[in-house]
Structure 1
């Protein structure tokens, strides 16, 4: 990496309903890139990809309402997909980014697709990682059990917010929660324990009411009808062992988006960008160069740019 300092700027944008949205811009170069997080996330999935992209592109990272460093609107009902898309437009304006390639991980896939539906002129391309085009509760673990349970869970959280927060915060701060997540949902041989710490720390601090209201919005949203109208270069990245948003959803999405490319990471799970960073970086770089006129420079064979998986501390 160059020894030259990488451009960095961070700020807050107050939107009309009172929420203060955090955003940061790093790097320089076209096409510009916007990173859209998953639900309950404040950027942990971009740990390797964001600095890699910042070497040759202007990269905008931001936090949704009630996520990370962003605040909650005065009217706490104003949480959900449509507000998120409006927020993204305002944040792009504040960052001076007229048009960009939208990257979405998990929930961010729905955000990117819906943003393209509403603000197509602002989207130069799409990179959709480990996510669904909509209604994620219908397919979580290839079952609709969570969809059936969710209304009851939401009622409990809404009725007892403080008690729910204390219980959730205490549970997520245990090592057991981290190890269960790694064992049940991720590839233990590829994920680094410290790559998840940011996610669990953030989720433990998050307002559970904001979480369930955001999830409720996602559960009712679908961009399936819009996929045929996506008119920008698109790359879909799927984890073959993803249980949150099963890989078949990504294959179905890629088949429906005109001329979309599909990259399947056979051993990848929902955290594939952390499990196989070298492979993801090389494929994304190629996509940006060949489909969007990104910087041209030599690249090593797939997965060989850097170790395709980080070393797990402690073995």
Structure 2
């Protein structure tokens, strides 16, 4: 472990080198049990937790971390060792480094698959699940309620693998233009609810990300499913979804909630894939109620941010 920084008693950031050489960035904020772990979406370095992270950090130890090749985490020397096959072991090691034997796992988008697979492999370490705007598996099959991306993906991946530098320049050029940000807000999010400054960090990170890492991680997601495990989830579970989410359509969340025993569903009528940023107050209050009612946590977090 290296690079520990103590800005305050309740904040720590560090990196952990795993056996195959990847350096995994993580930060820990706050104190109090149960601990909380935040698992990002694909191509993300934490933008979705802008409001929920400080909210939870008032009364809980909260761990935020970056997957291989995301954010401040590096990739191993063998660059094929990227994706879902490694995330659960990575997370277990990062939790150890953060001093969390058990925690409530929060997952957004890809993080839903990560959280469910982690429960499959490390059930004793999971006290609860909060699954936000994500699928239980094979997201290319349902993206925009179409299989078009699934059919195009092999060609796209091949092009990226063959011309990584050209792809990186093209992606960086496109994602750093204001036009793309505005189009994404209007076409994929709810422009009446999302703030431009809340979404911009996602494009900034994605523009800097290695496109080969992105497509290899996406390929691993496309071939992974936790559907068979849902009926074996034995911890309190809250599913949060956006009715207008086009990345992971709301019906997927309903289906997931129906299959997970005694789970709860919050369907946000005007919400999209970025619901935690669009209606943060609603999400926070629902999470607080879930923690209180299902895990016996005295939150006391009500009131303005």
Q: Classify the TM-score, shorter chain.
A: over 0.9
Does residue 249 of structure 2 align to residue 249 of structure 1?
Answer: no
- 1:14 alignment partner in structure 2: 17
- Superposed CA RMSD: 1.1
Aligned counterpart for 1:80 among listed residues 68, 80, 83 = 83
- 2:134 alignment partner in structure 1: 131
Aligned counterpart for 1:173 among listed residues 166, 173, 176 = 176
Q: Distance in 2 between matches of 1:41 and 1:298?
A: 27
Aligned counterpart for 1:30 among listed residues 33, 46, 50 = 33
Shift of 1:146: 0.3
How many matched pairs?
298
Shift of 1:297: 2.8
- 2:274 alignment partner in structure 1: 271
Shift of 1:243: 0.2
Q: Distance in 2 between matches of 1:179 and 1:219?
A: 28
Structure 1: gaps of 5 or more residues = 300-304, 308-315
Deviations along 1:96-121, whole A, 9 cap, x unmatched?
10000000000000000000001101
Aligned counterpart for 2:207 among listed residues 179, 194, 204 = 204
Aligned 8 A contact 1:56 1:295 in 2: no
Structure 2: gaps of 5 or more residues = 1-7
Aligned counterpart for 2:153 among listed residues 141, 150, 153 = 150
Calculate the TM-score normalised by the size of structure 1.
0.93
Calculate the TM-score normalised by the size of structure 2.
0.96
Q: Distance in 1 between matches of 2:299 and 2:277?
A: 25
Does residue 287 of structure 2 align to residue 284 of structure 1?
Answer: yes
Does residue 233 of structure 2 align to residue 230 of structure 1?
Answer: yes
Q: Distance in 2 between matches of 1:37 and 1:296?
A: 24
- 2:112 alignment partner in structure 1: 109
Change over 3 Å in CA distance of 1:269–1:124 after alignment to 2: same
Aligned 8 A contact 2:291 2:299 in 1: no
